[in-house]
Amino acid sequence: MVQPLNYLKESPSQTAGPYVHIGCTPNFTGIHGVYETDLGSGPLHNDKTRGERITIRGRVIDGSGTPLRDALIEIWQADSDGFYNSPSETRGTADPHFAGWGRCPADMTTGEFVFETIKPGRVPFNDGSLMAPHVTLWIVARGINIGLHTRMYFSDEEAANAQDPILNRIEHRVRVPTLIGKREGDTVTFDIHLQGENETVFFDI
């Protein structure tokens, strides 16, 4: 028997609220015993991981210039050879010692998030052209109904960035710098602006 289409109605969308940290990072909130460590926390690699170690630091900043202290950020990236740790990866074998994923709650005082990871390699776009090295970020927090997706490219990859098919699709070229992480030594700084003059480019995916 076919059910009527209005039998199950869509529930209203909700912001992440305070419960996202309880569910995703219970140890961070002081709830211990669920997981030994919060999923995605800690290093994304061990001593056997291939590639150049880097630290990504940043903040999620609202329209008033204030860092959000309750944001939760996830990163997704390829390994140093440009392969993803995913069952759908068919181009080659990803580094088994690199997860390619991490999760970090913002510091409740400073609003800073920190990821210890490796610099990713280049991966092909749909047309086969190579994208510049980049890290994908997903952001949730109170006041955000749907998680926001953006990318962080590297300031020391000017030539690759100039050829990147995604960056070249951005119509307003003055906004391209909002996707570039500033590298100094082994640290890359990347602030995400939700609104305002320096609003970060977000992707509808």
3-class secondary structure per residue, 124-188: ECCCCCECCCEEEEEEECCCCCCCEEEEEEECCCHHHHHHCCCHHHCCCHHHHHHHEEEEECCEE
Average confidence (pLDDT) over 23-41:
85
Q: Does residue 65 carry a pLDDT above 80?
A: yes
**By three-state DSSP, how is residue 144 classified?**
coil
Model's pTM, two decimal places? 0.88
Residue 18 pLDDT grade (very low, low, confident, very high; cuts 50, 70, 90): low
Q: Does residue 1 carry a pLDDT above 60?
A: no
User: Which domains, and CATH codes, for the chain?
Assistant: 43-193 (2.60.130.10)
**By three-state DSSP, how is residue 4 classified?**
coil
44 touches 120 (CB < 8 A): no
pLDDT on residue 101 = 93
